[in-house]
Structure 1
């Protein structure tokens, strides 16, 4: 028998060598496709700084893991020059993360795939029990039912809560708009519920606006920003988050950027924090309805009531005046944050997105007039673009171990 190696064995060996060389690039490569920054293998090669052969081996391994799809026939965009490249797409039937969100007007569960794509949602609940274990148990069971119906593989679970979440304990320190006790161990409870439901993978919990900012930075209006400030008001209160150099800034113990407690009206309403006139009580849906002289109804959420009032009755002088008042308060708070943080982009969510859409010139003018950096050139202020960004952000927590090390993470699910 000849000692020569068969031609096929040479090909397999060289492919294996390229894959071994590029195994450390699997996570970065997946993140590039996940965030839409590598639509083709040529772009992936350039972004990773590897050879075409190594990029091809990495893409093939991610495809073998069921995470992406590589177009078998390379193509080029109309008018482009150079060699056509294989397109890279996320696998539509790939794994999912269980995402959950709890807020003052209810909770919901969803399955979210790579790319921030919501695959399935469960009907939301409109009441929140005072016992966090009951609420988290219910939302996890709703998610487990979605997994049973879809038959999808689950990489883990994440929950967004309307409270600062202290690290490393994972406790909700100030669920002010829920009846939950301060310091509830939400991460521990959520993880226990996930395990009890037979769901594999790690479980995470974090503040809802932090997660909204994370989702928008990866998939929405914040994509491409280096220092991104997100401010939002959903159902009650005002929250903020900051992404610095592409990473969520949570401070030394997860409690950074409690922007809701910036004073914007010294003679204003008493705040839950003990202060007066904070953004939390001066620029949320309840504050708007009050300023517009409307009594909140129990039928739908405060956010929906406020948005509908602006949409349907903006010509009413009282409503227009209330909109202007909230824009001025919000702008004053944003100006203070711009002076301190010097972000390169601001994104607004919830009712604040509606205020921006209603009168963008007024809000931008207030921020520019009251901030040093705004006067020097202006900071782009944009609306959040993801409809369920906190849910998508909760899923990002569960996806992160896969983005860090796809092989190791998937081996545990």
Structure 2
């Protein structure tokens, strides 16, 4: 049954079937071909996959992101990020990376960061003489930090697949890797800006204006402190934190920045509902897919085979990196986590690899698949919002692909980047 499962899934992906439907149909097909179980069991597993209290955090974090990234809040954070770089060579490129890091703590979504503030940064960079293709490639690459710095829906889903890690622990673990990602892309921008002499025309604002911009940005930036601090302090669970984030976003939008109108709420709610529905449909289908793998004992068989090879932890992690890089070419992070973590996490545990270290490697690696074709969701989002061919963006991507490989190697060989903050925080 496992062979027919993967065969149907591969065929459906090749013909362009949306990922959620490809996963669900392949599970149905495998069960019907095998004939041992009624096909209704697939539907039952899909519903079971969504019958989880922690999953309630998904629509609430999505709604909080929609509220926080709308209106004046986006402009305020962009102004705060851009003010530090002035006429520095490559300054707007650094501001682009910095703003992606800031918005990661607000939205937790790579696609939202690229489509909202990212698109605005591309237009600003083009106006100052940056090549539009380069600005688009930098924006798409920097946006992958969205699901790494908390809050992160991907981390919530991962914690549901591996009981050895907690959502709070993963949230803390993502902070330093997220900053590492931003530093690596800032380094890539440094190289390209010196090579092409990219320089902004605007001077750095006066000190008083910078202070006003920073004070204005503080309420939005406090969201990540509220979420991580509340979870760490035991004030609320991650699911409760998502609800708190929604009310905090409403308060900031309506009373602090006064940019959110009641008339805009129906549109925001509709967008959040559509996004949440798409995410939950993928998760439901992936649960049915994973159930087929489990009843066929695929995770156990793979684990026994790999353990018998007597690989060292480092060799195993390098092999996992290669596997995930290939897997990420065709699969978004959420279904990737649902399908692969039940197989790979027990093996990593048996080899003595820290579960949080392994989780960060998996999450970062799969998130990088958002900028690798043929799926590459971030490439297509940026392409559509700024009206530029994907091929033009890809021509500028090699240096960012190299940065991605460097990031993975650093995270693989330096576990403390992932494990130090959770350890000192009590996770």
TM-score by length of 1: 0.23
Greater relative CO, 1 or 2 (CA 8 Å, sep 6+): 2
Q: Which has the larger radius of gyration?
A: 1
Q: Which has the higher strand share?
A: 1
